Amino acid sequence: MQIPLVDLKAQYKYIKDEIDAAIQEVIATSAFIGGPYVRAFEEAFARFCGVKHCIGVGNGTDALFIALKSLGIGVGDEVITAANSFIATSEAITATGAQVVFCDIDPQTYNIDVSLIEAKVTPQTKVIIPVHLYGQPADMDPIMELARRYRLKIVEDAAQAHGARYKGQMVGSLGDVACFSFYPGKNLGAYGDGGAIVTKDDELALKIRMFANHGRVDKYDHKIEGMNSRLDGLQAAILSVKLRYLEEWTEARRQLAYLYNDLLTDADIVTPVELENTRSVYHLYVVRLRHDARDLVCQALLQRGIGVGIHYPIALPNLKAYSHLSEEERCCPVATLASQEILSLPLFAELKKAEVQYIAEAIKKSYAVR
């Protein structure tokens, strides 16, 4: 049996007619940059997130960078974020000229450890970027309370959390601004790069839209110097189709994740934990094994045709890109240990229950032969 980590072909087959029609319509009308398909998606995604504004951009990394720049972040500023994420999170901070400050993670959720954030705050701190990693919302109440006390801004990195909820509120509607990626493998994925920034703030939304479009409000009326980062019409049309199915796909992911949990109960493996009053969307189903078992189990699954991944094999502070930081600044022992023990198992809406059972049995057998 061959089971990929994610199967985008299966998803396409499910909605093929709608996707093909949407692509043909954009081509027929030549609405490639801006236009009605981008506007329609932005309006629909803003409603979905429970906010007033959505600005489509080129990708999730641009979304983070543009959001930070629009908040006035630059040289001399510090931005606190989690030590366990894709480098885009920290890369966007550094690109503004600001200093990235890594905070260690909660060992159960792998999100930023809210009990450690305050110790990282200095007079130069301007923003906290909580990452809703693997589709699990970060514990936002303590973060928002801390931000209020120190007058900090919150930029949600929601690149993996489309449709996740925290205490009844949609992820993306909690902070000052939130950033999404529509990379093809995301829960809401385009057929190329794409991203979005959402906010309830009218003034901030205007700044973001200007900055993402060469700093202009009209064709040649450039109020500031910006950049060129736009969601194109083809991707917007594709995303509009997929958005209609996102809740259905999310529920399928959740049910499969719970099935994994049940099947792996008696295995020597730590399964995902959801915080109380949250809804994880399980962008990834990440388990944890003893560090002396992870690589052996990984190889055993691959040999049985089961796709696996490690998200992420090196904690951000341990990357060579951040070797210039001091040892104290790079010290995040929980994130470091997790990077040596985590393993992502196949999870997508079209995955069959029998395949989940096959994967769970393969994990148990790989332990048995150790």
Residues 216-232: pLDDT tens digits?
877 778 889 999 999 99
Q: Which domain holds residue 166?
A: 8-103+113-243
Does the pLDDT value for residue 156 go beyond 60?
Answer: yes
Does the pLDDT value for residue 112 go beyond 80?
Answer: yes
pLDDT at 369: 55
Segment 14-56, tens digit of pLDDT = 999 999 999 999 999 999 999 999 999 999 999 999 999 999 9
Section 187-205 average pLDDT:
98
Both 70 and 41 in a single domain? yes
Residue where one domain finishes, among candidates 243, 274, 300: 243
Q: pTM for the complete prediction?
A: 0.97
Rounded CA separation 88/70 (Å): 17
Q: What percent of the chain has pLDDT over 70?
A: 99
Section 322-328 average pLDDT:
97
* 264 Cβ contact list (under 8 Å, min separation 6): 271, 287, 360, 363
Both 129 and 216 in a single domain? yes
User: Is 309 among the domain residues?
Assistant: yes
Residue 24 vs residues 139, 235, 340: alpha-carbon distances, Å: 42, 12, 46
Beta bridge partners of 82: 103
Closest by CA to 290, choosing from 360, 343, 361, is: 343
pLDDT at 322: 98
Task: Give the distance from CA 223 to its chain's centroid.
Answer: 31
What is the domain-level CATH number for residue 151? 3.40.640.10
User: Is 331 among the domain residues?
Assistant: yes
Number of domains composing the chain: 2
pLDDT at 221: 82
User: Is 108 among the domain residues?
Assistant: no
User: Is 237 among the domain residues?
Assistant: yes
Closest by CA to 73, choosing from 152, 126, 143, is: 126
**Residue 56 DSSP SS3:** strand
Both 174 and 267 in a single domain? no
User: Is 357 among the domain residues?
Assistant: yes
Residue where one domain finishes, among candidates 243, 277, 299: 243
Grade residue 261 by pLDDT with cuts at 50, 70 and 90. very high
Mean per-residue pLDDT over the chain, rounded: 96
Grade residue 102 by pLDDT with cuts at 50, 70 and 90. very high
pLDDT at 6: 98
pLDDT at 139: 98
Does the pLDDT value for residue 292 go beyond 90?
Answer: no
Cβ atoms 349, 9 nearer than 8 A: no
User: Is 199 among the domain residues?
Assistant: yes
Both 287 and 140 in a single domain? no
User: Is 166 among the domain residues?
Assistant: yes
Segment 298-311, tens digit of pLDDT = 999 999 999 999 99
